[in-house]
Structure 1
Amino acid sequence: MTNESNPSVPVTSEGAERRAPARAEPKMLEILVCPLTRGTLSYDAEKQELISRAAKLAYPIRDGVPIMLPEEARRLED
């Protein structure tokens, strides 16, 4: 079954669209920095997060949008 407005997007039996995980655009990684350290970020495709090693935080990417709020970030283990 597909979405009538966008036939290339599959729809689940409950009617909700099912999307593949978003990928971080290389240009986005060139522009974005950690809001706390102003350091570079790396992309974790499996967890859909942008990683700041300096701040030891992982910023989530939700629906393809990076959430660059420290209070939303996951603290990384040492």
Structure 2
Amino acid sequence: MSISKELLEILACPQCKGEVQLTPQGDGLICPRCKLLYEIKDDIPIMIIEKAKRLE
């Protein structure tokens, strides 16, 4: 199961409060402004800045 569109619309990057986008694989959320990847584990997005992966 993936994240619903309704949830995706209200989620925001905890760092910049900007919009996040679902990865093509559906396994994470990307903040294009901060270049951070927030993983999704067991259908729950882990929206903790310290646990996010930096994208290069």
TM over 0.5: yes
- Distance (Å, rounded) in 2 between the aligned partners of 1:62 and 1:41: 16
Q: Which structure features the higher share of helix residues?
A: 2
Query: Does residue 51 of structure 2 align to residue 61 of structure 1?
Result: no
- How well do the aligned residues superpose, as a CA RMSD in angstroms? 1.2
Q: Write the deviation string for residues 24-76 of structure 1: whole angstroms up to 9, x where unpaired.
A: 21011111100010000000141600000111100000000000001111100
Higher relative contact order (CA 8 A, sep 6+): 2
- Distance (Å, rounded) in 2 between the aligned partners of 1:62 and 1:44: 13
Query: Does residue 10 of structure 2 align to residue 31 of structure 1?
Result: yes
The runs of 4+ residues in structure 1 deviating greater than 4 Å are none
Q: Which has the larger radius of gyration?
A: 1
Instruction: In structure 1, give the amino acid aligned to 2:39.
Output: P
How many residues are matched?
A: 56
TM value normalised by structure 2: 0.91
Within a 5 Å distance, the mapping from 1:1-78 to structure 2 comes to: 22-46=1-25, 48-77=27-56
| Residue ranges of structure 1 left out of the alignment (5+ in a row) | 1-21
